[in-house]
Amino acid sequence: MVKQIPNIITSLNLLCGTVAVIFAVSNDLVAAAVFVFLGIFFDFFDGLAARLLNAQSEVGLQFDSLADMVTSGLVPGIVMVKLLERATNSRVISFSSETTETMSWNATEVSLFPVIGLLIVVASGYRLAKFNVDARQTTSFIGLPTPANALLILSFALILAFQDVNWVNELLGNKWFLVGMTVLSCLLLNAEIPLFALKFKTWDLKSNAKRYLFLLFCLVSLFFLKFMAIPLIIGIYILMSLVWKDYKV
């Protein structure tokens, strides 16, 4: 039973992701973000539990990626679709209720443009598939991890919901900016860019200086900028990985 604890934690990640999908489709992006954050929390601890309990397995690896595909792949894709629907004042699918209690297609409100956001789902799936067979990604990452990308996309919805800044609202309401972020997201997920992992083998300052500095930056920027700090944090994460290399891939 102890050996199944990591898989139980992964199951909680998958469950959170599934609930987040329901909220995202229902256009409740804040609730979707909350459950994605919970899923990412469980995603961090399932691997930690597996190492501590010496319960690592091929099934656990595959299960973890399948859970991530939902929580950190499907949900951000749907969220981007919803943001693009908002920016274009349209919907991918629109139904109207009839007196016969059947659903009819309302073609006047339909636009396929927001479907561009689903490219994030495809790119996330490909990135997770590569991760499972790439022996270089045991202590670091090649390309932006799907949880980090999910946080980036979901931060847009949270910024719009909780931080009323005119120029930011205009930017996040621009369909071409959102398309650009979708393309950038897909590229970062699968780019051959080595990125450090927040995995602590020891707690000493010398070997983990970069990680401690990054975590300190995260705390300070989140305190002052709140959700607007998340895109900045992702950018600094990539920059620190490129400039401060202390690992091999």
Residue 106: pLDDT band with limits 50, 70, 90: very low
State both tokens at 200. 């602590």
Least confident of 62-66, 82-86, 103-107: 103-107
Provide, rounded to the nearest whole percent, the portion of the chain with pLDDT above 90: 69
pLDDT above 80 (res 2): no
List the structure tokens of 173: 């309401």
Question: Could you tell me the pTM of the whole model?
Answer: 0.90
* Of 170 and 249, more confident: 170
Q: 186 and 124 in contact (C-beta within 8 Å)?
A: no
Per-residue confidence (pLDDT) for residue 120, from 0 to 100: 98
Residue 132 has pLDDT above 50, yes or no: yes
Task: List the helix and strand counts (H, then E) for the chain.
Answer: 10, 4
Sign of the Cα torsion 193, 83, 115, 180 reads negative
Compute the distance between CA of residue 140 and CA of residue 173 in angstroms, rounded to an integer: 35
Nearest Cα neighbor of 184 from 229, 221, 235, 147 is: 235
Average pLDDT over residues 182-199: 93
* CA 42/CA 47 separation, integer angstroms: 9
Above 50 in pLDDT, residue 131? Answer: yes
Average pLDDT, the chain: 89
Task: Name the H helices within 53-141.
Answer: 58-68, 75-88, 119-133
The pLDDT of residue 174 is above 90: yes
Compute CA 182 distance to the chain's CA centroid, rounded to the nearest angstrom.
12
At residue 242, does pLDDT exceed 70?
yes
Q: Which of 125, 120, 28 is nearest to 77 (CA)?
A: 120
Mean pLDDT of 199-206: 71
Q: Band of the pLDDT at 113, cuts 50, 70, 90? A: very high
pLDDT at residue 248 tops 60: no
* Strands of 95-146, DSSP E: 95-97, 103-105, 140-142
Confidence of residue 140 (pLDDT cuts 50, 70, 90): confident
pLDDT at 108: 44
Confidence class of residue 116 from pLDDT cuts 50, 70 and 90?
very high
97-101, 114-118, 240-244: range with lowest mean pLDDT = 97-101
- Estimate the crossing angle of helix 5-25 against helix 75-88, to 10 degrees: 10
**What's the Cα-to-Cα distance from 112 to each of 73, 103, 230, 243, rounded to whole Å?**
20, 20, 29, 40
Selected from 3.40.50.150, 1.20.120.1760, 3.30.420.10, 1.20.1290.10, the CATH number assigned to the domain covering 2-199 reads 1.20.120.1760
How would residue 249 be classed by pLDDT, with cut points 50, 70 and 90?
very low
Q: What is the spatial distance between Cα 105 and Cα 114, in angstroms, rounded to a whole number?
A: 18
pLDDT-derived band at 201, boundaries 50, 70, 90 = low
Distance separating alpha carbons of residues 147 and 72, to the nearest angstrom: 5
Q: Are 133 and 67 in contact (CB under 8 A)?
A: no
Q: Is residue 95's pLDDT more than 60?
A: no
Rg (CA), the chain: 19
